[in-house]
Amino acid sequence: MDIKGRSMKSVEQLITSKHVGALRRGFHVWPTLEFGVMPALGDSRWTADLIYSTWVQAETGKPPTNGLEYRTGDSGGGFDALDFKFLSKEEWLPKSTGMDLSIALNRRAFDKKIEIPIPFYGAGMSYGSISEQIMLSRAKAAKAWKTFTSTGEGGYPDSLVTYKDHVITQIATGMFGVREETIQYAPIVEFKYAQGAKPGLGGHLLGDKTTMAVAKIRESVPWVSLFSPFPFHSVYSVEDHKKHIDWVKAVNPEALVSVKVSTPTDIDMVAVGSYYAGAHIIHIDGSYGGTGAAPEIAKKNIAMPIEFAIPKVHRHLILEGIRDEVVVMASGGIRTAYDIAKAIALGADGCILGTAELVALGCTRCSNCERGRGCPFGLTTTDPELSQLVDPEWGAERIGNLYKSIEFQLQEILRKLGLKSIRELRGRTDLLAYRKENH
């Protein structure tokens, strides 16, 4: 069947859960002309269905209705192995019930109170790993939704200053682009001690993507590969950690401090140490995250899966008597509204989205992020020509539509569980069950 030239709507109606293609801004990229032999995209975690259904949500602002699976992947483990114990239909809350999805980002008795209306915000993606146009798209969407996005460890482009009230600035081990004024811009400053997709390796940006503009912001040498050390060589104890936080608070007394760590076996003790060092947010990053730049050997063999780390941290903070004084945010493979809800049921307060936002902008998981000019769709690239493929207004609209769809689904999940607030879902492992096919 030749489907070239069809409209977006007619193609969506034709595509089933077994036949998914990559769509880009009103034109279609089909590997073959024959509908029946189209190869699948993605992998068992980011299946062809999830890739396309995320695109559809970014297009329409609601989950697809054409049979695409938009809730889980096909990995057989992690969040894909879990399901909710929904009430019988007669017990669901009425659709008119107002659902509260807001969460606080500071539960301590001191420092600025910040609340976001949805239980998620954007993950750190550095200038260099992604284009400035993508950073702008994410910042515009964050402002529209009164939530946040993060600069990652690549510095703070001047174009983001307009959106500074919704931008988290990150300080990582390479200290790339860290300046006093950028710390002062930020309502939240994030220390990246480790990343779930690259634990023990630090960040890396290869020379092909270290353009003149990237090097200028990172205060480095153009066309030379940049590797962040692991770890901060000034931090080997909770006391050292506290000195870091005290430094940021001296530069910007109003800032909240988030601490991003990977998921080692003692992640529970790491979280407690960060609390006593003065952190407001413990950001635990599991092994499923990362773009095509993250080494497979690290993603698949080192860090603890996020679904094990969350309840471990949650329970230990309760035992320490400090659970309600610290915010736990989870990342590292959060793809869908159902992943967010499951993470919260396991014990997180909220989640942080990374790859999902890129998929909303056209990422097909081709893993070309770090090669040559980078992404051919203008996402994870620093090439000045490829970067122009994404208009920030278009990008912000698509990310906003994805947020709208996630918001709707989270409200529906709460309604079917008989809960009126996302905060009531935290730690409710009794509402989770293994999917039948996993028994």
3-class secondary-structure state, position 156: coil
pLDDT of residue 220: 87
Local structure of residue 76 (DSSP, 8 states): S
Lowest-pLDDT range of 33-42, 146-155, 166-175, 357-366: 33-42
Please list the residues that pair with 353 across neighbouring strands.
Answer: 122
- Which residue's structure tokens are 């049921």? 345
pLDDT of residue 410: 98
Residue 294 pLDDT class (50, 70, 90 cuts): low
What tokens were used for 292?
Answer: 């095509």
| pLDDT tens, position by position, 373-404 | 778 889 999 888 999 999 999 999 999 999 99
3-class secondary-structure state, position 8: helix
The distance between the two most distant Cα atoms of the chain, rounded to a whole number of Å, is: 66
- Interior angle at CA 92, CA 89 and CA 96, nearest 5: 130
pLDDT of residue 176: 86
Cis peptide before 231 (omega within 30 of 0): yes
Lowest-pLDDT range of 204-218, 252-266, 405-419: 204-218
Lowest-pLDDT range of 22-36, 284-298, 331-345: 22-36
pTM of the model: 0.88
Sheet with 167-172, side-by-side order of all strands: 120-122, 350-353, 327-331, 281-285, 256-261, 188-192, 167-172, 149-150
Backbone angles phi, psi at 270, to 5 degrees: -60, -45
Domains of the chain: 8-75 (no CATH), 103-438 (3.20.20.70)
d(CA 318, CA 429): 15
- Interior angle at CA 244, CA 218 and CA 129, nearest 5: 30
Q: How far is CA 260 from the centre of its chain?
A: 12
Q: Of all residues in the chain, what percent carry a pLDDT higher than 90?
A: 66
Lowest-pLDDT range of 6-15, 157-166, 358-367, 406-415: 6-15
| pLDDT tens, position by position, 89-119 | 999 999 999 999 999 999 999 999 999 999 9
Local structure of residue 189 (DSSP, 8 states): E
Q: Measuring CA to CA, how many Å separate 215 from each of 135, 229, 231, 293?
A: 17, 17, 22, 19
